[in-house]
Amino acid sequence: MATSANTPNTLLLKNPSIFKTTSNSGIHTFPIPRATVKPFSIKCSSSATAVAPPTTTQDRLFNFAAGPATLPESVLRKAESELYNWRGAGMSVMEMSHRGKEFLSIIQKAESDLRKLLNISDDYAVLFLQGGATTQFASVPLNICKPEDPVDYIVTGSWGDKAYKEATKYCKPKVIWSGKSEKYTGIPSFDDLEQNPDARYLHICANETIHGVEFKDYPTPKNKDALLIADMSSNFCSKPVDVSKFGIIYAGAQKNVGPSGVTIVIVRKDLLGNAQEITPVMLDYKIHADNNSLYNTPPCYGIYMCGLVFEDLLAQGGLVEVEKNNMKKAQILYDAIDGSNGFYRSPVEKSVRSLMNVPFTLEKSELEGEFVKEAAKEGMVQLKGHRSVGGMRASIYNAMPLAGVEKLVAFMKEFQAKHG
């Protein structure tokens, strides 16, 4: 709808009853009156005065959190408009039976849109699960290994290390390369990898959220029957990926595609049905694949939110366009760091710097606290580095607007001019 900055708009509330208490409610008025109406135009006397202005984009902070992270503003507005009564269904998505036609349409659309985004073939099942990537650290070996099976792990950061440690309970994992001695700032050359020819799979963490190290290409398991498995939690749907190279891809949703509480697993169907006997039923991929992620009650609202994000990513032109935006955002931020004559420093090898998580330090480390504090004053929050590594970290996932990165870069230059 067209609106002019000079002409105030109004929303008509025909039914004051929505402000009244409900018979079983202890809350007797809604704290904030709300109208949910379709586009319209009305005239209103300019004598109208509001006690408080409506929420505006200006109220919105630039949130550089590593996850849960910023979501597309348009997706939040849509969720807001549908929260109380989803598309005339007479209830919130949070209240829908997971077996009712309304929710089935939501989860089926979400899966179909995700398949479009990543061009996922019918050879793969797409599962919407719970428990985060940390649950998958156990699910992967439990589903595709026998206890005595050797498997290989490339450890490029804390998450890959956690995945390896969990696997020791269910198979015979080996760390064939670790970046720990270099403080997780690099990725190995694939030719130098000493893969076990008998390994059942090769596991990588495609993007290390804490250390800002990202695989730009993927290694091939030595054994042609071995599987490449990737934790893509923090760069899932940030760029196109050839799913056919992988046996299993898993990701927590709370970085690029939704709120926390949803874990997406993309698993090749021929791998299903071989879970170890000790596998909890909720960790058995076949159970969920056979039931279209509805074996038990799924995290319905989170799946709905992921669906809204998938629609938004498709509307942007798909992951090719999304990647372009992400490269542009990362480029100006890394350029600012590299062009600071050492005032700002990126510890990560240039060739494997993450497009999603940008850790950096200050030459004068005693200023880091002030940097974070001053940035927050200007509406840029969650810039403190992970407690395990210190420094700063700017997470710039899909939903971080270019304007947010531009504002951060401008602030960095001001801060350097003031303290350089």
Q: Which residues are catalytic?
A: 159, 231, 255
Distance CA 274, CA 113 (A): 28
From 149, 316, 363, 407, residue interacting with a second copy (rule: CB under 8 A): 316
Window 45 to 84, contacts with a second copy (CB under 8 A):
45, 47-61, 63, 65-81, 83-84
**Residue 22 identity (one-letter amino acid):** T
Residue closer to a second copy (CB basis): 25 or 181: 25
Residue span binding a second copy (CB under 8 A) among the ranges 124-132, 194-202, 352-360, 367-375:
124-132
Residues 6+ apart with CB under 8 A from 233: 67, 132, 133, 159, 205, 207, 209, 250, 251, 252, 255
Window 176 to 215, contacts with a second copy (CB under 8 A):
none
Query: Does position 399 bind a second copy by CB under 8 A?
Result: yes
Q: Residue 22 in 3-state DSSP?
A: coil
Query: Does position 302 bind a second copy by CB under 8 A?
Result: yes
Distance CA 385, CA 406 (A): 19
From 154, 306, 313, 356, residue interacting with a second copy (rule: CB under 8 A): 313
> Nearest distance from residue 92's CB to a second copy, in Å?
5
* N-to-C CA span, the chain: 48
> Nearest distance from residue 179's CB to a second copy, in Å?
22
From 219, 221, 247, 252, residue interacting with a second copy (rule: CB under 8 A): 252
Among the listed residues 401, 383, 118, the one whose alpha carbon sits nearest the alpha carbon of residue 251? 118
Query: Does position 419 bind a second copy by CB under 8 A?
Result: no
**Residue 318 identity (one-letter amino acid):** G
> Nearest distance from residue 244's CB to a second copy, in Å?
27
From 105, 108, 296, 331, residue interacting with a second copy (rule: CB under 8 A): 296
> Nearest distance from residue 73's CB to a second copy, in Å?
4
Window 332 to 361, contacts with a second copy (CB under 8 A):
none
* Region label for 184, one of left (φ > 0), alpha (ψ between -120 and 50) or beta (otherwise): left
Query: Does position 305 bind a second copy by CB under 8 A?
Result: yes
Residue closer to a second copy (CB basis): 144 or 187: 144
Residue closer to a second copy (CB basis): 182 or 278: 278
Q: Read out DSSP for 251-315? A: EESTTTTS-TT-EEEEEEGGGTT---TT--GGG-HHHHHHTTT-SS---HHHHHHHHHHHHHHHH
